[in-house]
A and B are shown apart, each in its own frame.
Chain A
């Protein structure tokens, strides 16, 4: 039996909705098959008021062992560092977060807001929001760079806007079943099993990427979305084209550009007008090249690839 507590800070509840749609394993499987006891969750918890506060206090005192503390949403510090803009159970949420993190075996941040601050922390960040251990790319966040949970791990970051439901439940199961030490994390504390590969890995448009055939409008059945429509698939670490959404598809498969929502800088360019769904260029060359590719190599490859492109690459290949 592993006790799990889930709280929400500055959040839209998107990750909760995602979590409730998990399939492998499902949210119910967590309870019935993996022995996870959900102490409280904003959408599932039955306790209110004093009873809820007692659960939280008992976790902090140790009366209830807290095995997994899941946090969704940003840690809100406004105004003036007090956190009063996000009160929960009679005190600023940031105080609950600090004390619960200190007693939890594992702390798991779900979604961009809890990992790096996400959209609420976009400039000018009026709510003075932070992620649990990062603010965008800067290590630190609400708990500080040196934070380690009782099991000796930093916060396990599962980013995304929202995070894929199965990323959430699979990591929760891993730590609940004693395999937390096996969860290898990258530099941004993301589980490598999900975030080592790129969004582009498994994209059905990879042939168009290779032959430099561009999609120029949303929903086209041919063409790569990277060249013109701002797709961040070649620079973004996620398994969106390996672990499909709703077991069916992904953004890029359906003709929508990847927004790079598992990376700390999301949303990119602070959502300045003209920067969303448009590849940003300098002298016609993309500002953000596929990871590890330099400008000279990119230009040389493009010339060669376009020369070699077969005619079929210019036609719709996903016909109904």
Chain B
């Protein structure tokens, strides 16, 4: 996917989220079993089912702050996620593989 296509797709994904696409922000995938379950669900989607990807991964437009996290040292955003490629602004988790923005977040976040 060339940069222009990625930019256009990122804009489209943002619009979907801004217009109120309901995503599964919670429960978070905090155990290996949870993560495997979500990844399996994502694997069942067509590669271009972007709405489905946003919904299952629980994307939102803002960083996620776990309730009760003292000091807020774990702020979950694409910016700090291991799947995020900074310069391309892209999520490289093979099951997602979508352009994102640094302040977005999803429940497959890992640092």
Contact = CB atoms under 8 A, between A and B. Distances in A.
Given A216-B94, A275-B32, A281-B32, A303 B88 contact: no
Interface stretch (B3-11, B15-23, B43-51, B71-79): B71-79
12 contacts: A214-B92, A216-B92, A274-B36, A280-B32, A283-B28, A284-B111, A298-B111, A302-B111, A306-B84, A306-B86, A314-B85, A314-B86
B41 to A, nearest CB: 15
Contacts of A217: 94
Contacts of A286: 110-111
Given A279-B110, A284-B109, A299-B74, A309 B36 contact: no
Interface string B86-111: 11100011100000000000000111
A311 B89 CA distance: 11
A226 B22 CA distance: 33
A247 interface: no
A283 B80 contact: no
Interface in A278-320: 278-286, 295-296, 298-300, 302-303, 306-307, 309, 311, 314
Interface of A: 212-214, 216-217, 227-228, 274-275, 278-286, 295-296, 298-300, 302-303, 306-307, 309, 311, 314
Contact of B86 (A284, A285, A295, A309): A309
Contacts of A296: 73
Contacts of B87: 309, 311, 314
A299 B73 contact: yes
Nearest to A213: B85
Contacts of B76: 284
Given A299-B73, A306-B79, A306-B80, A284 B32 contact: no
A216 B83 contact: yes
B26 interface: no
Nearest to B79: A306
Contact of B110 (A227, A275, A295, A309): A227
Nearest to A227: B82
Contact of A283 (B30, B84, B92, B93): B30
